[in-house]
Amino acid sequence: MLALTLAPLLLLGSTLAVPAPIPNGGVGVRTNDTAPVYGTMTDFDYESLKLGLYQEWIELDLFNYGVARFSAQEFADAGLNAEDISLIQFMAQQEVGHATLITNMINNGGRQAPKQCTYKYDFQSVREYVAFCQRLTRWGESGVYGFLSHLDSRPVATLLTQSITTEARQQMVFRQFSGAHPFPVHFETGISQSMAWSLLNRYIVSCPAGTPKISWPSFPLLNATNQPSILVDGYKAAITHNRTSLTQAGRNVTFSWEAANKTISADGGYNTTVGGQVNGTQPKFVAWINQLNVTYTPLTLTSNYTGYATQPGGVVFDSTPTNGIINGTSFVGLSVKDLYVTPYNLSLLNDYLVAFNTYQSN
């Protein structure tokens, strides 16, 4: 039996505290540990927080933009009422809080925080709007999960965790607004900063003068030309739908992708680059990234920038046969190598990726 040594009990009325027993290990959990500082400690922290702030700014703009652009009747036609619109407006206020938090932590580290930019969107209806919101909050959530455990500042990671859990709820709500199952997975995946930045930056038109740029490389856009649509079967907003999956193992998925070094924003500040091992090499594999898995299938090229591959099957654990590894709003990339990576070191795949995007598998 493990015995814990306790400080002697104090007499009633004493002002001295009895230290609570704490198991060996842990960081920052004892009274004599260094007090937490909620600021960046390294360039890695700073660049990660900048990315997080860019994400919060676009979400703030997006939520307000949709409410302003579409009428109450257009929302009603999509199955969304005034209470639902109010929820989106409240989500925008949440983004004000998130942006303020990250800005303060960047400033506490003596660094410059990015300001809100201007953006462009390609949706034309309320249903397209909420479907875009569920994709954007998906990569926003997953992008933070990917770097949280690698931050040098644990206090910063603590506060980011408390904000990103709210974003997870936003993603769930937008899936419900899209008429989809709210969370058809057992595990939410994390992606690297470069993967998240690649998905975000193409919607930036321009930023205020002096806005600090992101240092993460950005991958060319990968397009699944027979991409499933979460809206195709006409399900309207609901708490949940027990829907047939949009995709299945063995599905032939066709792809096209951009060339590298293409300017993708009006101010010329965000060019696509590729990882250090690629150097113009043709991709050979499709990396399917979701839940706890990165699964590769061979890519068959049909031209320099088109090809096809088979959607993989399999489950996360054999004990959960209904939990397919490709489920929900997934991620997909083209790679020159089938590099073995796990959730903790997924960013090692950056050096081998040629193109990247989301894949609407469910």
Q: Which helix (H) or strand (E) is 307 found in, with range? A: strand 306-310
246 vs 231: CA distance, rounded Å: 10
237 vs 179: CA distance, rounded Å: 4
- pLDDT confidence of residue 13: 52
242 vs 235: CA distance, rounded Å: 11
pLDDT in tens, 176-211: 999 999 999 999 999 999 999 999 999 999 999 988
- pLDDT confidence of residue 68: 98
Q: Which domains does the chain have, with CATH numbers?
A: 43-178 (1.20.1260.10), 222-360 (no CATH)
- pLDDT confidence of residue 265: 53
- pLDDT confidence of residue 266: 42
75 vs 82: CA distance, rounded Å: 8
- pLDDT confidence of residue 244: 76
- pLDDT confidence of residue 16: 59
pLDDT in tens, 259-311: 887 655 544 445 567 766 787 789 999 999 999 999 999 999 999 999 999 99
Low-confidence residues in the chain, pLDDT < 50: 1-12, 266-269
3-state per-residue secondary structure call for 110-156: CCCCCCCCEECCCCCCHHHHHHHHHHHHHHHHHHHHHHHCCCCCHHH
Q: Are 264 and 202 in contact (CB under 8 A)?
A: yes
Percent of the chain past pLDDT 70, that is, above it, reads: 91
Name the burial class of residue 86, with classes exposed (0-12), middle (13-18) and buried (19+) by CB atoms within 10 angstroms of its CB.
exposed
Q: What is the DSSP code (8-state) at residue 165?
A: H
- pLDDT confidence of residue 43: 97
Beta-carbon contacts of residue 46 (< 8 Å; ≥ 6 apart): 40, 106, 109, 111
